[in-house]
Structure 1
């Protein structure tokens, strides 16, 4: 029995380290120690909903959904295609994003503000023109607002569907209010603070949304050609299928992502619940 238990513990440790390394990068352990161990006030108290959502394995699905949803804004997609290096360095981009989320959610107030200041400096330099001649600037508050609402909607919906402890109504509104603190610091004007405001803001962006060729290519890269070893392709495909299943029809159609209702509502969700449970098990501290 001890041999079996030790074997399971070893598998769990190796899997957890592998996942953490992918998401957090080589500096992950050092960053984690600083983020959680440094003394000082935080932006969010330990009982805040943002800590519950951002600490759950459902973020793997929510993050993929957010990338797909954000891509249907032509200006956001143009900026990503020209400046993010998502094809050449997708893991680096993921690691920078996950570190930013961790620092602003769990880190000291000073570290959170420093992280925001660095991102704002990067956004200031990201400018260009779409293939259709439309100018974009990553620091534009309106464009930042779309990126924010697409992300928050994706993280919250994934958590409510796959999270270990879904939030109640007040918790959902609390999560949106918490994320508004970070969004305002990044330059978003009047970010939504509850579910009604979030839904209204997304509706307001709808007339601007369309899937460009760049967006469809990005979706194919994310869903069909991730830079992963063969052994990781099947688990990733489960996460990707659930991310697609969570998209609204108005985002799926222009990205040419078909919907199969019965399969998605039963089999796909079951696999998503199982996969997030497995990730949660592997990454939970021993």
Structure 2
């Protein structure tokens, strides 16, 4: 195996959990209907773009601002001990809901909700009071959903292409995923997303736990070229975050004294290299297209 192919397999394993094509992706060619989202959907446009790598990092950062959501990760998640396993599991859920048929998408969401059932505990809120949390609490589910969209749209605006129908269409379409995950009243427009995000502001908290989480997200245990690429990707992600969240997280845009560094240019290069290593468009999309072709041929 050549050095380049080894790097490619390492990258694929980090993103999908497998150096090759994972079985769950192959199974997206099966199914009896087109799924919730079509090839011309805003969801396919956003989730099929390599900018999702930056979106995923941004989502982790913004979601960490809610002490209830962060407590669930600290208390139960494998993120600190096996970060790549958790990232691959999250990527699998996104790709399955995006590209799978409706039954497969529903099953993926139900599986996550079942795993959430045991995630319970307490946390200290922004007022210093002790609160109980459950990962399936409707408000925590809502925060995770909102933060996900904010981060993915911010990253796509910086590093992706045009979205069919714009941000409003993406938010309205991805509300389906919110409903599958039992999110109450998911937003269906940019205005609704902004309004619902603003309502969470009093609940967000910067404390020592958040600082530790941000530090880990900034310096995960990557090796070699992935470590260098991720450092650039992290800086490029921070550059896309809305100012209010960047300040709450205690992060700054990369600069050398008074001069801003060209991190977006460097990030675009890293993302192009990552796209090349992963083979361009997601393999999940290719298998979904096989299902769509089969269904079209069968009439």
Once the two structures are superposed, the pairs formed by residues 151-162 of structure 1 within 5 Å of their partners are 151-162=148-159
Corresponding position of 1:4:
none
Partner residue, 1:222: 217
Instruction: Report matched runs for 1:82-97 at 5 Å.
Output: 82-97=75-90
1:97-112 matches, cutoff 5 A: 97-112=90-105
Q: What is the root-mean-square deviation in Å for CA atoms of aligned residues? A: 2.1
The reply on whether 1:177 has 2:172 as its aligned counterpart is yes
Number of the residue aligned with 1:66: 59
Equivalent pairs counted in the alignment come to 273
Cα distance, 1:40 vs. partner?
1.9
Structure 2 residues not aligned, in runs of 5+: 282-299
Equivalent residue in structure 2 for 1:166, among 145, 159, 162:
162
For 1:175 and 1:235, locate their aligned partners in 2 and report how far apart those are by CA, in whole Å.
Answer: 28
2:137 to 137, 140, 145: 140
TM-score (norm 1): 0.89
2:270 paired with 1:267:
no
Instruction: Give the Cα–Cα distance (whole angstroms) in 1 for the partners of residues 278 and 169 of structure 2.
Output: 26
Structure showing the higher helix proportion among its residues: 1
In 2: Cα distance, 1:121 partner to 1:276 partner: 34
Q: Structure 1 residues 28 and 216, CA, compared in 2 at 3 Å: closer, same or farther? A: farther
1:119 aligns to 2:112 (yes or no): yes
User: Aligned partners of 2:75, 2:187: CA distance in 1, in Å?
Assistant: 29
Q: CA offset at residue 21 of structure 1?
A: 1.6
Deviation at 1:87, TM superposition (A): 0.7
Distance in 2 between residues matched to 1:272 and 1:263, nearest whole Å: 18
Pick from 3, 24, 27: which aligns with 2:16? 24
SS at match of 1:39: coil
**What TM-score comes out, normalization by structure 2 length?**
0.85
Relative to structure 1, is the Cα distance of residues 263 and 176 closer, same or farther in structure 2, using a 3 angstrom cutoff?
farther
| Conserved 8 A contact 1:176-1:192 | yes
Q: Give the drift of 1:195.
A: 0.9
Q: Give the drift of 1:130.
A: 1.2
- What is the distance in 2 between the residues matched to 1:16 and 1:229? 13
* Residue 239 (1) aligns with residue 236 (2): no
